[in-house]
Amino acid sequence: MRLLPIVGLTLMLVAACTGTSAPTSDDRVVTLVTHDSFVVTPERLEMFKNATGVTIKVLASGDAGELANKLVLTKENPIGDVVFGIDSTFASRVLRADVLAGYSSPEAKNGAHRYQLAPANLLHAVDVGDVCVNIDTARLADGAGPRTYEDLLDPKYRDMTVVEDPATSSPGLAFMLGTIANFGESGWLDYWAKLKANGVKVTSGWEEAYTQEFSGSSGKGPRPIVVSYASSPAAEIGDNGVPRTSALLDTCYRQVEYAGVLNGASNFEDAAKVVDFLLSEPFQSDVPEQMYVYPTRDGVALPDSWSKAAPLPAASRSLPGDAIDANRERWVEQWRAVVFG
């Protein structure tokens, strides 16, 4: 889900940047299973270890969809103790599979409760990251760019849009769900047929779409319209202090990422402390600049640039979790039939 993914992060995030030694067999270690885009300042982990005696071992396990699938497939022999990165598009699958142990974090009352799911003691909201269409404002200057889903169908934007495949990408799935929420069951496939006719390009994931195909970021690709995040423009501030990109806030779908203790955690009490840490002020204050998402904790200050470049959308679309769970596979197959058929 992230703006700055770190592929294959399966290391102990404790020693390299802090000068401390790696954990020994005598240390209390909690394995945090997460997505490939998890990033945290090593000093935050060292502070947690000093306060609790617990070392956090980070095990990256693909994107949000892969992460959810792995937890379900390994629930009889869990690969870790705590999970972070189950987002709202996959949460119902994980909840239904009974892979989580009940734990009510005292830190949840500080803001995470606003996004709680039923039952409330299984998953705790760590961050919010709205998926939205982004545009390269240099290529589409002076108000010439699109603003809505419908605008992307205008022939003047032919061959300008790149999106991610919802079968393989969390933001791609969120964008597809946003079109369903916007156009309804009766109209969303027709919308995608028209988007295909207008030259939309589909990539397997966010990194390819944003860093290779999109013209407004590092790859300087050919397409000035991309599906990314409301927070993405905060990473595209020019030397003049002006963002090079803009998120279209009328095209956003709300994603929330959750954490919880896994059934079979080797040490439940230490695993619970890690969940508390993910909801605590030290970790939450690290979230915006490390993972380019919005913290759920009340009172956590955002970087100054975010107020202009990356405001949290006031009214994002969403769908009920049970509706997503019941229809996700059918919707993705319908989408593939229209876009690739």
Burial class (CB in 10 A: 0-12, 13-18, 19+), 32: buried
| Residue 26 confidence (pLDDT) | 56
Residues 289, 303 contacting (CB under 8 angstroms) = yes
Task: Quick: pLDDT tens for 167-197.
Answer: 888 889 999 999 999 999 999 999 999 999 9
Q: What are 256-278's pLDDT values in tens digits? A: 999 999 999 999 999 999 999 99
pLDDT of residue 11: 35
SS3 212: helix
Q: What's the CATH superfamily of 28-129+255-308?
A: Periplasmic binding protein-like II (3.40.190.10)
CA distance 244 to 241: 9
Whether the pLDDT of residue 82 is over 80: the answer is: yes
Domain boundaries along the sequence of the chain: 28-129+255-308, 131-253+311-340
- CB–CB of 249/132 below 8 Å? yes
- Give the model's confidence band at 12: pLDDT under 50 very low, under 70 low, under 90 confident, else very high: very low
Among residues 140, 85, 128, 101, which one has the least CA distance to residue 231? 128
DSSP-derived letter for residue 311 is P
CATH second-level architecture of 131-253+311-340?
3-Layer(aba) Sandwich (3.40)
Token pair for 321? 């979790």
Q: Is the pLDDT of residue 65 over 90?
A: no
Using CA atoms, how far residue 259 sits from 180, 217, 295, 340, in Å, is 27, 30, 13, 35
Q: Is the pLDDT of residue 16 over 70?
A: no
Contact 224, 135 (CB under 8 A): yes
Contacts of 44 (CB under 8 A, 6+ apart): 282, 283, 286
